[in-house]
Structure 1
Amino acid sequence: MGGRFWDPDGAEYGLPTFPFRMAPDGYATRRQLRAAGLRPGGQLAAAQLLWFSNRRRRAGQPPTLRVAYLYHRDLAKPVRPMTPAKWAALDKANAARRVCPECRIDAGYRIPTSLGMCVSCAYPEDQRAV
């Protein structure tokens, strides 16, 4: 088995390194841990995945080197449950994002950051026709 980023001993990259989708069993990314109801729990990255990505590549530019850090599954801890205080803080933050800074009215949805205000304030000419 070989490849451009095959370095299971970490001699070249400092951490054990594997090509994309070739991580051995027992390792997981943060997203994979979260999907399993786990968190890294203070452990440092144990290995990494490296690959080249063309996703945001511009014409004439080289592909971007991407990295995903891997953690030991057996050292991961369960995700901490949300406390009532955290739920209350989250509700308060979401409520604040629904208030339009222009008209100060609760829009009933989170204000788009691209507009910076509710749709009625952003496009007043469209609202008059209705």
Structure 2
Amino acid sequence: MGRGYVRFWDPDAERFDIPTWPWKLAPSHLKTRDQLVEMGLRPHQPPAGQVMWNNKKLGVRRAYLFDVALAGPPKARSAAQVASLEAARRRRRICPTCGREQAYYLSTALKECTTCADGLEAAA
């Protein structure tokens, strides 16, 4: 086991606040939030552990782990929440320059549709 692995090996939570494992050595019943979402589940409990690793550019990184047995399905959205999300998605498709709704989300860098950004409307 390498030095980095020994540094983060603490399954009994003696050095860190919660049980800690090095990258890729956590027990199989503990998953990250993204892994739970891929399984169609959401964590409904505090983290049961963490995975830590070194990143050359960012330093020590961590990912919290949740017990699969305690995870459940996502909470149902209310009708008002669904309507609000649909309205927000629609606003992201409306070009502020020409006012037309596009079939795609507008670029956050351009902040307008590709036709307006290229200047094709003015050229025509």
The TM-score bracket by the shorter chain reads 0.7 to 0.9
Counterparts in 2 of 1:12 and 1:102: CA distance versus 1, 3 Å: same
Structure 2 length-normalised TM:
0.83
How many residue pairs are counted as aligned between the two chains? Answer: 121
- SS in structure 2 of the partner of residue 39 of structure 1: coil
Report runs of 4+ in structure 1 exceeding 6 Å deviation: none
For residue 100 of structure 1, the aligned residue among 95, 100, 104 is 95
- Counterpart AA for 1:45: P
Unaligned runs of 5+ in 1: 58-62
Q: Deviations along 1:78-102, whole A, 9 cap, x unmatched?
A: 2234555444332221111111112
Identity among equivalent positions (%) equals 39
Q: Which has the higher helix share?
A: 2
For residue 48 of structure 1, the aligned residue among 50, 54, 57 is 50
User: Which residue number corresponds to residue 60 of structure 1?
Assistant: none
Distance 1:9 1:119 in 2: 55
Structure 1 length-normalised TM:
0.79
- SS in structure 2 of the partner of residue 108 of structure 1: coil
Counterparts in 2 of 1:124 and 1:46: CA distance versus 1, 3 Å: same
Q: Say what the alpha-carbon RMSD is for the aligned residues.
A: 2.2
